[in-house]
Amino acid sequence: MTTQNERKLKENIQKNLIFYRKMRKITQKQLADSINTAVTTLSGWERGVATPDIDTLFTICNFLQVSLNDMCGVLSEEDSFSVTAREKKLLVNFQKLNEAGKEKLQERMEELFLLGYTDELSPHDSIS
């Protein structure tokens, strides 16, 4: 693996560790406690100072219920698209909404589709 690939992998793990931890609404302390490591160590991984070893990475993935490929930012051949940072942020914000908020957002999304604010679906397609 080239140095550039290693750097990209480390960066992917760093960003995805933060993303999936926050998506699951887990604090650094909760994750660190669950994998028997120090909060300062976890913080270092999230800041890109270091990277967890493969065994620890598997443990983190199991705890966060995410695949190793997803954590490392590796797309499988079956993946026909990738999720952008903007889309990940939208997902995290969506998950913060209560059920009433999620329903309202769904209604607004359907309105936007009906108004033609889409490149892929016809205005009559539904996203539900």
The four Cα atoms 11, 15, 16, 17 give a dihedral, to 10 degrees, of 100
Reduced to 3 states (helix: H, G, I; strand: E, B; else coil), residue 110 is helix
Instruction: Please give the pLDDT value at position 3.
Output: 84
The whole model's pTM is what? 0.60
> Which residues in the chain come in under a pLDDT of 70?
1-2, 75-82, 120-128
Model confidence over 45-75: pLDDT tens digits? Answer: 999 999 999 999 999 999 999 989 889 887 6
State whether CATH 1.10.260.40 applies to domain 3-72.
Answer: yes
Q: 66: Cβ–Cβ under 8 A, 6 or more apart, which residues?
A: 16, 20
